[in-house]
């Protein structure tokens, strides 16, 4: 089932109406106002944390003005920003239900993530507890220091009520000192918030803790009177000095990134919130939302501030790309099923490219660091065996199998799959360079990838949300292709780019394009041999192959497979990674040697064709002791330099 948003309502606590249940916790605090087209009073949520040290919270959902039919309460199995299935209902326990008079009802679990409530009097108060112990962008985490809430993992909802507005009351533990950070609409009460519809509610994470806070405003380049507020709410173990430096860097990212699109979106509440949990127990993750992002890592600002900024840059680019410039395949978002999309190479991959590019433009990354990042992406795609079987668009459609999805059976994804993040990053890099080199050579209209993103913004993102949380004009792959043709005035160029590199399996020839910027793509370890770089575990007697051997590599062609124990190559035993490294340096690309290995204890021998290491690196002419030409310097500055006036 898919759900669409409904009416917009500016709800206030003073408008909530008590319905008179017996026990205080089961007393509804909602009834309230009716949405513009929601068809009924707002749905009221109350979140309590009576025993946070045991990592659960209690949620009460009150819905009034219901038809006589049973109410079907649902728990999401998908979360905005994720594409795979996540069975959040597994953490729900102790489910109860009451009618408007306080009478006990009997909810029936009709499916794994559905509870049906019959026999009500037009009002249902549905109460449950939910466990959460993972700090990231997808799940729920509660302890005595905070509550970190991704709403699909926390809040159940009534089928048929998706268009109604909602109120959310947080009740922190007594004397906890917790405050609330969220993109939900605020009210006069700092613990009561509203949402205009279910899509916006479920897309609104929240952090309750004694978080540290910083904020800044940035004038819109297109409208100096538009000055959105950017709030940083951080739960971490560092000090004020580290947070101040982090906030300054985040502001640099925001100021640089808005120059790509030329303007900010109109954030529904007038502000954007960075929710960051940098804690020892956190998992490394980042997740975009319409007017906020969640950032988590088992890291400290003092030690890893610069590395953490990469996630900030990536997620903030999503403000435009995916949250508003949104593929039709993801709109409306289905909260009860996986969400496959063939456009993730653009939605996620181009975002990956700009995440790195903006750090470079903002002066938050050194040039060698940025070049190493681009070289790694190019190398991964060029040498990835998965390109034999699928295109970048095909890889995008596989996200439900790979995007934090879980499986217990052994797979061969290393040979079948290349991340749409990485492949899309090379497509963004390649298209940017193709457009810029065409302009340098006087071919067609002068354009860059910034211009392309601005065009997509104007056509599909700008002003495209008459209902908060719902994109009015999502795009298709055909739309993206047509936009490229219109930008360049060359439909043949656009068709070739999509046919060869997006829907086809070819790789852009980067070396001549990078030369325009005085950059050289060259072998990373010349003279070193290469066997295929399988994952190895060194143990007594040799090196155990612990993952599928990549297709087409020397070890694969020799017949060596996963779980085999490689005993010796060219008569030399493999006792450690250092020994293997020395062996490869000595072998070079000398051709055929003998490999001895064991399979399930049986000794085997094969001929192994050692080849030169195909890995490449990207370096500047300056690193080679040479000076770029004035034209190369201008090209590089126009591409990698700041856009700030």
Give the CATH number of the domain where residue 603 resides: 2.30.42.10
274 and 315 part of one domain = yes
457 and 396 part of one domain = yes
Please give the pLDDT value at position 469. Answer: 87
90 and 199 part of one domain = yes
Sheet holding 92-99, edge to edge: 104-105, 92-99, 124-131, 56-63, 43-48, 166-171, 192-195, 185-186
- Residue 637 pLDDT exceeds 60: yes
Domain of residue 233: give its range. 212-319
472 and 392 part of one domain = yes
> Whole-prediction pTM value?
0.92
Q: Mean pLDDT over residues 91-117, rounded?
A: 98
- Residue 537 pLDDT exceeds 90: yes
CATH number at residue 248: 1.10.390.10
Q: At how many degrees (to 10) do helices 351-361 and 367-383 cross?
A: 160
Would 7 be classed as within a structural domain? no
Mean pLDDT of the chain: 93
Please give the pLDDT value at position 39. Answer: 63
Q: What is the pLDDT of residues 206-260, one digit of tens each?
A: 999 999 999 999 999 999 999 999 999 999 998 999 999 999 999 999 999 999 9
Domain boundary among the residues 319, 349, 377 is at 319
Domain boundary among the residues 174, 192, 209 is at 209
Lowest mean pLDDT among 22-26, 77-81, 162-166, 220-224: 22-26
68 and 119 part of one domain = yes
35 and 69 part of one domain = yes
482 and 626 part of one domain = yes
Q: How confident is the model at residue 404 (pLDDT cuts 50, 70, 90)?
A: confident
- Residue 520 pLDDT exceeds 50: yes
499 and 597 part of one domain = no
Quote the strand ranges of 298-387, DSSP E: none
- Residue 6 pLDDT exceeds 70: no
- Four-point Cα dihedral 288, 291, 294, 295, nearest 10: 90
Lowest mean pLDDT among 19-28, 100-109, 488-497: 19-28
Specify the 3-state DSSP secondary structure of 257: helix
Domain boundary among the residues 155, 182, 209 is at 209
Please count the structural domains in the chain. Answer: 4
Would 279 be classed as within a structural domain? yes
Using a 10 angstrom Cβ sphere, with 0-12 exposed, 13-18 middle and 19 or more buried, the burial of residue 503 is middle
CA 354 to CA 402: how far, in whole Å? 22
- Residue 631 pLDDT exceeds 70: yes
- Residue 35 pLDDT exceeds 50: no
Q: Mean pLDDT over residues 255-279, rounded?
A: 97
- Residue 193 pLDDT exceeds 60: yes
Q: What is the pLDDT of residues 351-396, one digit of tens each?
A: 999 999 999 999 999 999 999 999 999 999 999 999 999 999 999 9
561 and 432 part of one domain = no
548 and 404 part of one domain = no
Please give the pLDDT value at position 13. Answer: 30
Q: How confident is the model at residue 18 (pLDDT cuts 50, 70, 90)?
A: very low
Would 372 be classed as within a structural domain? yes
Percent of the chain with pLDDT over 70: 94
494 and 576 part of one domain = no
- Residue 114 pLDDT exceeds 90: yes
Query: Chain-centre distance of CA 192, in angstroms?
Result: 28
581 and 607 part of one domain = yes
CATH number at residue 88: 2.60.40.3650
Would 335 be classed as within a structural domain? no
- Residue 480 pLDDT exceeds 80: yes
Q: Is the dihedral of CA 268, 269, 273, 275 positive or negative?
A: negative
Please give the pLDDT value at position 200. Answer: 97
């Amino acid at each position: 089932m898919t759900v669409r948003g409904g009416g917009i309502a500016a709800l206030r606590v003073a408008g909530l109406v008590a319905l008179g249940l017996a026990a205080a916790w089961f007393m509804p605090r909602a009834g309230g106002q009716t949405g513009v087209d929601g068809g009924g009073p707002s749905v009221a949520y109350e979140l309590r944390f009576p025993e946070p040290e045991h990592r659960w919270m209690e949620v009460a959902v009150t819905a009034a003005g219901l038809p006589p039919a049973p109410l079907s309460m649902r728990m999401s199995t998908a979360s905005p920003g994720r594409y795979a299935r996540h069975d959040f209902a597994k953490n729900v326990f102790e489910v109860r239900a009451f009618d408007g008079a306080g009478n006990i009802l009997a909810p029936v679990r009709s499916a794994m993530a559905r509870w049906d409530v019959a026999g009500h009097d037009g009002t249902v108060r549905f109460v449950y507890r939910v466990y959460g112990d993972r700090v990231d962008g997808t799940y729920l985490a509660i302890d005595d220091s905070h509550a970190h809430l991704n709403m699909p993992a926390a809040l159940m909802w009534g089928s048929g009520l998706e268009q109604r507005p909602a109120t959310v009351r947080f009740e922190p533990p007594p004397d906890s000192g917790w405050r609330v950070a969220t993109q939900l609409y605020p009210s006069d009460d700092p613990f009561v918030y509203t949402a205009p519809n279910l899509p916006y509610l479920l897309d609104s994470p929240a952090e309750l803790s004694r978080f540290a806070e910083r904020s800044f405003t940035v004038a819109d380049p297109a409208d100096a009177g538009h000055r959105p507020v950017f709030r940083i709410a951080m739960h971490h173990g560092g000090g004020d000095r580290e947070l101040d430096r982090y906030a300054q860097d985040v502001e640099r990212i925001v100021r640089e990134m808005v120059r790509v699109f030329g303007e900010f979106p109109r954030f529904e509440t007038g502000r954007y919130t960075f929710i960051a949990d940098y804690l020892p127990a956190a998992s490394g993750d980042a997740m975009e939302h319409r007017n906020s992002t969640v950032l988590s890592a088992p890291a400290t600002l003092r030690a890893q501030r610069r590395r953490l900024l990469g996630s900030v840059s990536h997620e903030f680019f999503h403000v435009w790309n995916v949250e508003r410039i949104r593929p039709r395949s993801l709109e409306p978002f289905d909260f009860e099923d996986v969400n496959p999309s063939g456009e993730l190479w653009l939605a996620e991959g181009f975002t990956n490219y700009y995440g790195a590019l903006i750090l470079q433009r903002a002066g938050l990354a050194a040039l060698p660091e940025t070049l190493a990042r681009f070289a790694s992406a190019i190398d991964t795609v060029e040498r990835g065996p998965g390109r034999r079987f699928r295109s970048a668009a095909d890889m995008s459609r596989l996200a439900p199998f790979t995007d934090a999805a879980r499986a217990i059976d052994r797979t061969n994804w290393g040979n079948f799959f290349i991340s749409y993040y990485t492949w899309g990053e090379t497509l963004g890099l390649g298209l940017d360079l193709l457009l810029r080199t065409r302009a340098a050579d006087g071919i067609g209209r002068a354009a860059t990838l910034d211009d392309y993103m601005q065009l997509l913004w104007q056509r599909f993102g700008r002003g495209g949300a008459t209902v908060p949380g719902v994109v009015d004009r999502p795009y298709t792959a055909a739309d993206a292709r047509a936009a490229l043709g219109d930008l360049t005035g060359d439909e043949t160029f656009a068709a070739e780019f999509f046919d060869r590199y997006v829907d086809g399996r070819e790789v852009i020839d980067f070396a001549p394009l990078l030369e325009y910027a005085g950059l050289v793509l060259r072998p990373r370890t010349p003279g070193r041999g290469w066997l295929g770089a399988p994952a190895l575990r060194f143990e007594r007697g040799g090196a155990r192959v612990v993952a599928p051997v990549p297709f087409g590599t020397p070890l694969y062609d020799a017949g060596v497979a996963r779980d085999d124990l490689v005993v010796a190559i060219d008569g030399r035993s493999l006792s450690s990674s250092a020994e293997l490294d020395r062996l490869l340096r000595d072998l070079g690309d000398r051709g055929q040697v003998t490999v001895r290995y064991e399979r399930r204890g049986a000794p085997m021998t094969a001929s192994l064709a050692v080849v030169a290491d195909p890995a490449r690196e990207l370096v500047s002419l300056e690193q080679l002791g040479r000076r770029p030409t004035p034209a190369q310097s201008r090209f590089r500055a126009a591409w990698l330099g700041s856009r700030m006036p």
